[in-house]
Amino acid sequence: MEVIALREKIPCLDLKGQHQQIKKEVFEAFERVYEETAFSGGPFVEEFERNFSSFCGTGYAVGVNNGTSALHLALLALGIGTGDEVIVPANTFIATAWGVTYTGAIPVFVDCTPDTWQIDAAKIEEKITSRTKAIIGVHLYGQPFDVVALKSICRKFNLYLLEDAAQAQGAKFKETPVGGFGEMACFSFYPGKNLGACGEAGGITTGNEAYYKHLLSLRNHGSRVRYYHDEVGYNMRMGGLEAASLNVKLKYLPGWNSRRREIAERYQSEVKNKHLQMQHQPEWAESVYHLFVVTTEDRDGLLKYLNHNNIYPGLHYPVPCHLQRAYAHLQYREGDCPNAEYLASHCLSLPMYAELSDEEVSYVISVLNSYEHG
């Protein structure tokens, strides 16, 4: 194989390159927060909320301390709680389900399709009961879910739609940015996300003023007027330093997302190995490729081969939600969500971040093309 200048190991994600590029600007922003001692909530968070709601084209955005809290608070704002059920994809990061569980409601897991790997709309109706209150669609790996299909089920059964857009900042469904398709949309700004804070952070977008005002109260001890508490609330405010870093990074996000798309297009067109399958992308979906997941029959064999060649993919996710031990009490069995189970044992996430060089992408492609199924 051709010898080229590469980083020593090519991991699934490397945050260093991005943060070196913007270090000066971020540190200047940190300095402003420091001078104003605006560490919790405050003007930098409000500035980010304005910037992010306009980026998503929604009326409002509420900054919180992480994406899991965003889901928890959005479900509370919908009035969901004990005795309710919420439809959740079996193939997602577990936090989608945590949000439901924290409210006292029960997550009801639905299998994914065998090609888009997103919730299978055709399997939702059979899971709806008189207790079902909402569906959470996940724009998984950065690719929008079938918004039209889920919205029509919600209309038919009078359910709320929540978007879990934790992995999809800037993704578009039919040319419209995600974040405004349901009652609310929940984002994670965990450092590894396409838009990640220097720290933990999350956010909720909505076009509904009543939800917006309720969320402001819920994240701040259930208080609209200081030291007066109208309901049981939470301390889930976004920090000022995190918000300041997000204000800097949001400007760069469109460029970073288009570089990810460029890398994805190269994987899609230049990887010729018949042993690999990629996520099917319907024509209405514009993904931001938070992750580039592939499946292969002998996943462990491919993983070993890649590691041997200094490429270190990720596994998203090795256990589907319905089979996690935390949810054993819900009594799902192997075979309940066969497509999600197949994915869990056959998936692997290729290196994907804007700072991968063209040479590194070529190298990953050539290693993949030289892999022979064992």
Ligand X SMILES: Cc1ncc(COP(=O)(O)O)c(C=O)c1O
- Which residue in 58, 91, 92, 296 binds ligand X (CB under 6 A)? 92
Q: Which of 357, 358, 350 has its CA nearest to residue 299?
A: 350
Choose, by CB under 6 A, the member of 58, 96, 217, 287 that binds ligand X. 96
* Closer by beta carbon to ligand X, 190 or else 267: 190
Residue 126, judged by CB atoms within 10 A of its CB (0-12, 13-18, 19+), counts as: exposed
Closest C-alpha to 140, from 78, 205, 94, 74 = 94
Give CA–CA dist 212/202, Å, rounded. 15
Q: Which stretch binds ligand X (CB under 6 A): 79-87, 93-101, 105-113, 349-357?
A: 93-101
CB of 233 to ligand X, least distance (A): 19
CB of 167 to ligand X, least distance (A): 5
In degrees to the nearest 10, what's the CA dihedral of 298, 304, 306, 311?
Answer: 130
Binding mask 186-225 for ligand X (x = CB under 6 A): --x-x-----------x-----------------------
How long is the chain? Answer: 374
Piece of 23-31, 62-70, 101-109, 218-226 that binds ligand X (CB under 6 A): 62-70
Instruction: Please select the residue that binds ligand X; options are 95, 106, 161, 323, rule is CB under 6 A.
Output: 95
Cβ nearer to ligand X, comparing 95 with 294: 95
Task: With contacts defined by CB under 6 A, name the span among 63-71, 126-134, 153-161, 366-374 that binds ligand X.
Answer: 63-71
Residue type, 261: R
What gap in Å lies between CA 292 and CA 167, rounded to an integer?
A: 12
Rounded to 5 degrees, φ, ψ at 25 are -65, -40
| CA of residue 82 relative to chain centroid, distance | 26
User: Which amino acid is located at 277 in the chain?
Assistant: Q
- Least gap, CB of 142 to ligand X (angstroms): 10
The nearer residue to ligand X, 120 or 242, going by C-beta atoms, is 242
Q: Which of residues 100-139 bind ligand X (CB under 6 A)?
A: 138
Strand, helix or coil for residue 220? strand
CA atoms within 13 A on the CB side of 151: 11
> From the CB of 95, what's the least distance to ligand X, in Å?
4
**The one segment of 90-98, 154-162, 241-249, 307-315 that binds ligand X by CB under 6 A:** 90-98
Tell me how far apart the alpha carbons of residues 293 and 308 are, in angstroms, rounded to a whole number: 19
| Rounded Cα distance, 173 and 186, in Å | 16
For the CB of residue 4, give the shortest distance to ligand X in the complex, in Å: 33
Q: How far is the CB of 64 from ligand X (least distance, A)?
A: 9
Site residue total, ligand X (CB under 6 A):
14
Interacting residue with ligand X among 67, 177, 182, 196 (CB under 6 A): 67
SS (H, E, C) 119-150: ECHHHCHHHCCCCEEEEEEECHHHCCCCHHHH
- Show contacts with ligand X in window 143-172 (CB under 6 A): 164, 166-167
Which pair of structure tokens corresponds to residue 85? 């059920």
Which residue bears the tokens 């900042």? 169
Give 177 or 360: the residue with its C-beta nearer to ligand X: 177
Q: What angle do CA 234, 235, 236 make, to 5 degrees?
A: 100
Based on the shown chain and the rule CB under 6 A, indicate whether residue 289 belongs to the binding site for ligand X: no
Residue with the shortest CB distance to ligand X: 67
Q: For ligand X, which stretch binds (CB under 6 A), given 88-96, 114-122, 209-217, 222-230?
A: 88-96
Whether omega for the bond prior to residue 317 falls within 30 degrees of 0, making it cis, is yes
Shortest separation between residue 89's beta carbon and ligand X, angstroms:
9
Which is closer to ligand X, CB of 78 or CB of 271?
Answer: 78
3-state secondary structure 245-258: HHHHHHHHHHHHHH
Binding site for ligand X (CB under 6 A): 66-68, 92-93, 95-96, 138, 164, 166-167, 188, 190, 202
